[in-house]
């Protein structure tokens, strides 16, 4: 039984799983939390009853970064052995082949923001503060922040945040594309559940293919990206959902298909 990170479902929101971070007071991401986060992401991937995932840290904070006390006395030799595991764990949300959304209340800093960067969408409260302040500790983001942040907001804006370590408020985060939606703090989780809930009856294999095409395509040239799309598109013609979707469209019009996820 995980102590700090759980995967929860509710009858009120069928098909949606919530990965909940709960290590008071600030959800510091120590090695145990990292391990439990990776396990929760793997479980969300495996479970057929979960069609989309919300990542949430509770009403006060998503996560205020890694556990610096745990890192303080580590040597280069020690960190070089675990840095890859840290990066993989904080980026594990990106490995879920389903729609994911980070519900950000309060602080999402350092590793906390890196967790959110792995989601497909980010919804923030208007009181949220986001940033990668690792430079103030004499290091750089090591959980995927330099790469995912630059791909999301562009290299210039990413460098500004990485170089200065400054915090970004919700409105600036929205303006630069760091978050996709800003709502009242009390509405953040419900807004994330609503977004995730729209996929509970969707064609799950096609969703996974669309996500894979975009994510893999971002790392290659256009010609290679188009080949990735071509192969994923053609492969969907081997699925039951493709037959169901197209038959339903021909017979009943758009938006009425009842997919099976096969």
Residues with catalytic function? 66, 111, 114, 134
| Degrees, nearest 5: CA angle 180-184-189 | 70
Please tell me whether residue 106 adopts helix, strand or coil conformation.
strand
Report helix, strand or coil for 29.
Answer: strand
Q: Could you give phi then psi for residue 73, rounded to 5 degrees? A: -100, 10
Q: How far apart are CA 242 and CA 235, in angstroms?
A: 10
Could you give the C-alpha distances from 128 to 108, 113, 217, 258, in angstroms and in order?
7, 11, 31, 38
Three-state DSSP class for residue 45 = helix
d(C-alpha 131, C-alpha 164), whole Å = 10
Q: Report the candidate in 96, 88, 93 with the shortest Cα–Cα distance to residue 108.
A: 93
84 sits in which H/E element? helix 76-90
What contacts 17, CB < 8 A, 6 or more positions away?
7, 8, 9, 44, 47, 50, 52, 53, 54
Cα separation, 184 vs 124, in Å, equals: 8
Helix residue spans in 108-221 (DSSP H): 111-117, 145-153, 155-164, 170-176, 188-197, 204-217
């Amino acid at each position: 039984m995980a102590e700090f990170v759980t995967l929860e479902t509710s009858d009120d929101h069928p098909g949606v799983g919530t990965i909940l971070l709960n290590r008071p007071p600030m959800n510091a991401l120590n090695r145990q939390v990292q391990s439990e986060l990776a396990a929760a992401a793997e479980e969300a991937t495996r479970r057929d009853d979960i069609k989309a995932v919300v990542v949430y840290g509770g009403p006060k904070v998503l996560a205020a970064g890694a556990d610096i006390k745990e890192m303080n006395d580590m040597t280069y030799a020690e960190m070089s052995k675990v840095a890859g595991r840290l990066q993989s764990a904080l980026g594990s949300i990106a490995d879920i082949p389903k729609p994911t959304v980070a519900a950000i209340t309060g602080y999402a800093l350092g590793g906390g923001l890196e967790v959110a960067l792995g989601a497909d969408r980010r919804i923030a409260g208007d009181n949220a503060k986001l940033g990668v302040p690792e430079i103030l500790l004499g290091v750089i983001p090591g959980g995927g922040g330099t790469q995912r942040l630059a791909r999301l907001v562009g290299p210039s804006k990413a460098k500004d945040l990485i170089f200065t370590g400054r915090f970004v408020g919700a409105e600036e985060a929205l303006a630069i594309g760091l978050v996709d939606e800003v709502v009242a703090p009390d509405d953040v989780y419900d807004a994330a559940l609503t977004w995730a809930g729209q996929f509970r009856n969707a064609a799950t294999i096609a969703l996974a293919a669309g996500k894979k095409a975009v994510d893999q395509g971002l790392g290659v040239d256009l010609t290679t990206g188009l080949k990735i799309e071509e192969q994923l598109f053609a492969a969907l013609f081997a699925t039951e959902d493709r037959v169901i979707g197209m038959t339903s469209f021909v017979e009943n019009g758009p938006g009425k298909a009842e997919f099976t996820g096969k």
